[in-house]
């Protein structure tokens, strides 16, 4: 019996249908994809993300001329396995002919999609007129897109920012996007910040909505402030995008993609137990050691720090991972701070 004069509010969890989308002929089954992440979106991490639902991943950016020379770096960045598909290889560079040759190499190597980076805000890229710098030079971007589309026998996509400087208008963006789709690009990923803003301030989700409105029948993937699974669903709903890219939100949390399904279904996001976190940390460590050899523990130190936020005492765990210099110390952190009962990984 509801008493007179009182309003009862019943909270019904919002359900949201997660729809597949296409990149050219490729059907991507989960609309939340793993973003390109320099130093993180390598083979071991991608495989874990895929296990928990990521249906599409992108490598970290690879310099076009590094792709064209053989060597350890080339081998590690381009590493993939049969279950790591569909996979985009991301290129960064500024010379149309060199980018086209690197794209051909990525096609030969077995990447499913070639993604072109016109978004990177780091000083090294900008000072060499690559990445985000090119948001101020749409003519060069257009030449690169034309050359790569002509060279690649599979879908080509671009990753762009909203603009170069925060005070700029969006004209360059629209010129680049119109040209790219006209030239045959299969999708565009938009990080809704200026290059100048790097990763600070709020991403402009209204701009992402405007991009999707303008290119209603094209594939548009949004990026920016997808900090948790709830935000991923909110961005999909807000901007009516085909997909969103999980970047910082997925670092140290390969369960992110499964959690998105939970949230979309109206449930609380799954939280892995300490024993499960430990098992995944061990597997991630083993994968890194297989790929990077003796560099594995050093690389995994920064990765462990990212996982710490899932632990009940994140600051303590972060500090423990900061100290790690070798495999024995890595295992020691896991033994001391995570539930036991799983086999130790070895490192060569």
Ligand X SMILES: Cc1cc2nc3c(=O)[nH]c(=O)nc-3n(C[C@H](O)[C@H](O)[C@H](O)COP(=O)(O)O)c2cc1C
Binding-site size, ligand X (CB under 6 A): 24
Tell me how far, at minimum, the Cβ of 190 lies from ligand X, in Å.
9
Listed ranges 32-40, 136-144, 145-153, 287-295: which one lies at the site for ligand X (CB under 6 A): 32-40
Q: Considering only residues 245-264, where is the footprint of ligand X by CB under 6 A?
A: 245, 247-249
At residue 301, what are phi and psi to the nearest 5 degrees? Answer: -60, -50
Q: Considering only residues 201-220, where is the footprint of ligand X by CB under 6 A?
A: 203
Could you confirm whether 120 is annotated as catalytic?
yes
The rounded distance, in Å, linking the Cα atoms of 171 and 186 is 21
Binds ligand X by CB under 6 A, chosen from 22, 24, 60, 311: 60
> What's the first-to-final CA gap in the chain, in angstroms?
69
Contact between 95 and ligand X by CB under 6 A: the answer reads no
Binds ligand X by CB under 6 A, chosen from 196, 225, 234, 242: 225
Tell me how far, at minimum, the Cβ of 121 lies from ligand X, in Å.
9
Rg of the chain's alpha carbons, rounded to an integer? 21
Binds ligand X by CB under 6 A, chosen from 33, 89, 96, 117: 117
The rounded distance, in Å, linking the Cα atoms of 252 and 40 is 9
Contact between 191 and ligand X by CB under 6 A: the answer reads yes
Tell me how far, at minimum, the Cβ of 223 lies from ligand X, in Å.
4
Q: Considering only residues 282-321, where is the footprint of ligand X by CB under 6 A?
A: none
Tell me how far, at minimum, the Cβ of 249 lies from ligand X, in Å.
6
The rounded distance, in Å, linking the Cα atoms of 134 and 14 is 40
Dihedral sign for Cα 190, 195, 200, 203, please. negative
Binds ligand X by CB under 6 A, chosen from 22, 24, 38, 95: 38
At residue 320, what are phi and psi to the nearest 5 degrees? Answer: -65, -40
* Pure H helices in the chain: 43-51, 64-68, 72-77, 96-109, 123-127, 138-151, 171-183, 205-214, 229-239, 256-264, 274-292, 296-307, 314-322, 327-337
Cβ atoms of residues 222 and 205 within 8 Å: yes
**Which residue number, 138 or 224, has a Cβ lying nearer to ligand X?**
224
Tell me how far, at minimum, the Cβ of 217 lies from ligand X, in Å.
24
Contact between 159 and ligand X by CB under 6 A: the answer reads yes
Contact between 35 and ligand X by CB under 6 A: the answer reads yes
Contact between 172 and ligand X by CB under 6 A: the answer reads no
Closest to 196 (Cα-Cα) out of 254, 133, 258, 147? 133
Binds ligand X by CB under 6 A, chosen from 43, 55, 61, 152: 61
The rounded distance, in Å, linking the Cα atoms of 226 and 102 is 30
**Which residue number, 47 or 208, has a Cβ lying nearer to ligand X?**
208
Dmax over Cα atoms in the chain, in whole Å?
77
DSSP classification of residue 344:
P
Catalytic residue among 49, 120, 261, 289: 120
Catalytic positions are 120
Residues within the interface to ligand X (CB under 6 A): 35-40, 60-61, 90, 117, 119-120, 159, 191, 199, 203, 223-226, 245, 247-249
């Amino acid at each position: 019996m509801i008493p007179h004069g009182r309003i009862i509010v019943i909270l019904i969890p919002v359900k949201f249908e997660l729809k597949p989308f296409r990149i050219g002929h490729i059907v991507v089954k989960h609309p939340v994809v793993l973003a390109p992440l320099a130093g993180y979106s390598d083979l071991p991490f991608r495989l874990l993300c895929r296990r928990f639902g990521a249906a599409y991943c992108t490598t970290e950016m690879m310099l076009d001329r590094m792709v064209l020379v053989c060597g350890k770096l080339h081998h590690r960045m381009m590493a993939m396995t049969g279950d790591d598909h569909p996979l985009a290889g991301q290129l960064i560079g500024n010379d149309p002919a060199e980018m086209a040759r690197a794209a051909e190499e990525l096609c030969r190597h077995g990447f499913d999609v070639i993604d072109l980076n016109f978004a990177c805000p780091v000083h090294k890229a900008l000072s060499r007129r690559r990445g985000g710098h090119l948001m101020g030079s749409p003519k060069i971007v257009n030449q690169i897109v034309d050359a790569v589309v002509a060279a690649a026998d599979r879908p080509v996509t671009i990753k762009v920012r909203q603009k170069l400087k925060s005070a700029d208008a969006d004209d360059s963006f629209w010129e680049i996007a119109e040209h790219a789709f006209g030239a045959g690009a299969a999708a565009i990923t938009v990080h809704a910040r200026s290059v100048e803003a790097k990763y600070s301030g709020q991403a402009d989700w209204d701009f992402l909505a405007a991009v999707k409105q303008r290119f209603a029948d094209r594939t548009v993937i949004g990026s920016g402030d997808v900090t948790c699974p709830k935000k991923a669903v909110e961005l999909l709903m807000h901007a009516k995008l085909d997909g969103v890219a999980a970047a910082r939100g997925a670092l140290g949390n390969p369960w992110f993609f499964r959690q998105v399904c939970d949230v979309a279904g109206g449930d609380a996001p799954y939280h892995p137990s300490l024993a499960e976190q430990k098992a995944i940390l061990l597997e991630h460590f083993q994968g890194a050691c297989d790929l990077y050899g003796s560099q594995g523990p050093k690389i995994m130190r920064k990765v462990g720090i990212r996982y710490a936020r899932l632990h009940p005492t994140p600051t303590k765990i972060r500090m423990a991972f900061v100290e790690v210099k070798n495999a024995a110390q890595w295992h020691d952190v896991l033994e001391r701070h995570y539930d036991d009962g799983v086999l130790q990984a070895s490192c060569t």
